[in-house]
Amino acid sequence: MVRIAVVDRELCRPSKCNLECTRFCPVNRTGNKAVEIVGGKARIYEEVCTGCGICVKKCPFKAISIVNLPDELEKSLVHRYGPNGFKLYGLPIPREGSILGIIGKNGTGKTTAIRILAGEMKPNLGLEREPSWDEIIRRFRGSEIQTYFKKLADGKIRAAHKIQYVDLVPRKIKGPVGKLLEIADERGVVKDVAKFLGLNALWDRDVRKLSGGELQKFLVAAVISKDATIYLFDEPGSYLDVRERVRVARAIRSFIPKNRYVVVVEHDIAMLDYLSDYVVIMFGEPGTYGIASKPYGVRVGINNFLNGYLPAENMRIRSEPIRYQLTLTDTTPVTGKRYLSWSKLSVKLGAFKLEVEAGELYEGEVLGILGPNGIGKTTFVRVLAGELKPERGDVEKPLPNLKVSYKPQYVSPELFGEEKTVENVLREANPSVLTPGSWLYVELVKRLRLDKLLDRRIDELSGGELQKVAIAYTLAKEAHVYLLDEPSAYLDVEERLAVAKTIKRLTETRGVAALVVEHDIAVQDYLASRIMVFRGKPGFEGYASKPMNLKDAMNLFLKELGVTIRKDPETGRPRINKEDSYLDRLQKRIGQYYYIPRPSEKEAE
């Protein structure tokens, strides 16, 4: 066995603890201890460490992780971030003329892998010195990645990389969108791409004034316009609604030359399924080590991921499978108490006007909301939360002491208090959420991996960490109705599914109700018992339907998008049909944009 000892340098604070990791480390038979403080941080010598785990238990900040892995895995070691740093085993291998999709938890090496493939960083093979390209190529002799590394070493790979954090772009560049895109254009396609993505209206706008979704489309257009050997897209769907995600996916498929390498990292499994020709699953212990699986066909790979078992690696990556609803009923029976109801509403904000059909929210149900950005979804949620008053119509709360817990769309440290710790915030919501072994602790703290963040200050958290704290804070409160606006933003696919499962369990076991605004179709499909569809002209007028059953709502929504979805017969997950495929044409012809195909139709697809 090979032992990996990782010390999180952000969490390790020797000056604030009693150095118990060094004091309690047993003396090895060589007469040495495995832990000492070097440069103000704990250093664990893996060759001396016995793997007893005492330091892991003694560290008050949970900064230390120790795992044992099979010796043969070391042969595929690609990169390590220094002593006691993260280790990456294996790489996703791109194929010329195909789109490789990468799926997996945050912190398992997806971004590291694509940076290596882009040539932005050189794999160090776990050495504390930089190896030569000859050493790297020799290490992977006989594998598919050897050929790719040889091209990289010879300068035959030119990469165009769409980075993960689009909000960093305005800090680095400035100027009008159109001028910057023309500078990026190396293939003479930028105007066609911009028109396809709806960027023409932004042509003269300064890039620093773009929203997150507009920045995303700007970057995708710039990368597609490059003349590159390999195109890499790190989370191209973030900040975008369903309509824009499909449009971006189609742009990537349509405008990139067919003989190039394309790699896409994406947490929206429906979009990843639609985009990819084959997938690689990144698994392991986040922040400690990551392993790239063997390549799988798209359907099989994503289903293996949801099942939590990888047959080619004989590896279980999740204790229980994730299953979606396999049947679609024409009507959804609603029983129990009515917690909220609203008459026909009219809301006006400046030049924007929203009309909402009458509806209600019942005990034990999750009401989903689907629609493009800027169409009034958040406005409606704020009306239900009591933050906005409609011009016409009323929101009725039948219970006299009805409690509502609301997670807004945009979460910032100021929402909780910048100097508070995560533990302080969760304790304010509900002290029992911090009781180890309690239902809330398992569902919110353990599943969302907040146990390692309890001592961190709110203003020290990343966007994804802050989002998880906001979700836990909202769901931990004792309430009758939970309003969650885009809870999956910044979360990886595992975290999205964990949040969806928790919301569903909470509504069922507590007998409460939830309303969820969400752009991820797979999450909505898993969660919602009924759905409201928002349509109209973004930024000007919106129209919200009454709550509808899943089948009718999805059909209405997808017909407007011109997209068809079928349910996978094994897992029940929604799969977007490739444009103009057999099932796409069939479903459009019969007017069923969302349904379960018969076996013969599945084979034909």
Q: Do 194 and 293 reside in the same domain of the chain?
A: yes
pLDDT of residue 440: 87
Q: Give me 164's structure tokens.
A: 């993960």
Q: Do 221 and 105 reside in the same domain of the chain?
A: yes
Q: Give me 129's structure tokens.
A: 């010195």
Q: Give me 183's structure tokens.
A: 């500078």
- Give the residue from 215, 301, 224, 219 showing the smallest Cα distance to 255: 224
502 assigned to some structural domain:
yes
Host domain of residue 35: 2-69
* C-beta separation of 296 from 312 below 8 A: yes
SS3 content of the chain, % helix, strand, coil (to 5): 35, 20, 40
Residue after which a domain boundary falls, among 69, 95, 120: 69
Instruction: Give how far the C-alpha of residue 253 lies from the chain's centroid of Cα atoms, to the nearest Å.
Output: 21
Q: Do 63 and 80 reside in the same domain of the chain?
A: no
In order, the DSSP letters of 205-224 are SBGGG--HHHHHHHHHHHHH
Q: Which domain CATH number covers 203?
A: 3.40.50.300
The amino acid at residue 561 is: L
Residue after which a domain boundary falls, among 310, 329, 357: 310
The DSSP letter of residue 25 is P
Residue after which a domain boundary falls, among 49, 69, 89: 69
Q: Do 253 and 292 reside in the same domain of the chain?
A: yes
Q: Do 561 and 528 reside in the same domain of the chain?
A: yes
Task: Say how far apart CA 365 and CA 194 lie, in whole Å.
Answer: 41
Q: Do 168 and 55 reside in the same domain of the chain?
A: no
Specify burial of residue 353 (Cβ count, 10 A radius: 0-12, 13-18, 19+).
middle
456 assigned to some structural domain:
yes
Specify burial of residue 599 (Cβ count, 10 A radius: 0-12, 13-18, 19+).
exposed
pLDDT of residue 605: 42
Report the relative pairing of strands 359-362 and 338-342 from DSSP bridges. Answer: antiparallel
Q: Do 254 and 109 reside in the same domain of the chain?
A: yes
The amino acid at residue 461 is: L
Q: Give me 378's structure tokens.
A: 């958040």
pLDDT of residue 92: 94
59 assigned to some structural domain:
yes
Among positive and negative, which fits the CA dihedral 311, 316, 319, 323?
A: negative
547 assigned to some structural domain:
yes
328 assigned to some structural domain:
no
What pTM was estimated for this model as a whole? 0.86
pLDDT of residue 335: 63
319 assigned to some structural domain:
no
* C-beta separation of 354 from 380 below 8 A: yes
Instruction: Give how far the C-alpha of residue 590 lies from the chain's centroid of Cα atoms, to the nearest Å.
Output: 33
Instruction: Give how far the C-alpha of residue 331 lies from the chain's centroid of Cα atoms, to the nearest Å.
Output: 31
pLDDT of residue 476: 94
Q: Do 148 and 231 reside in the same domain of the chain?
A: yes
Q: Do 169 and 228 reside in the same domain of the chain?
A: yes
pLDDT of residue 331: 46
Q: Do 566 and 594 reside in the same domain of the chain?
A: no
* Radius of gyration of the CA atoms of the chain, in A: 25
Task: Say how far apart CA 278 and CA 96 lie, in whole Å.
Answer: 12
Q: Do 605 and 568 reside in the same domain of the chain?
A: no
What is the tally of structural domains in the chain?
4
325 assigned to some structural domain:
no
Give the C-alpha distances (Å, rounded to integers) separating 268 from 188, 324, 490, 580: 31, 15, 11, 22
pLDDT, averaged in runs of 10, over the chain (605 residues)? 88 86 85 88 90 90 90 90 93 94 92 93 91 92 89 93 84 90 94 93 89 90 96 91 90 94 93 94 93 95 94 89 68 70 93 94 93 90 92 88 90 82 93 89 89 86 88 94 90 87 89 92 89 92 93 91 88 88 91 73 43
pLDDT of residue 604: 42
- Give the residue from 112, 104, 61 showing the smallest Cα distance to 86: 112
Q: Do 63 and 81 reside in the same domain of the chain?
A: no
324 assigned to some structural domain:
no
Residue 216, classed as helix, strand or coil, is helix
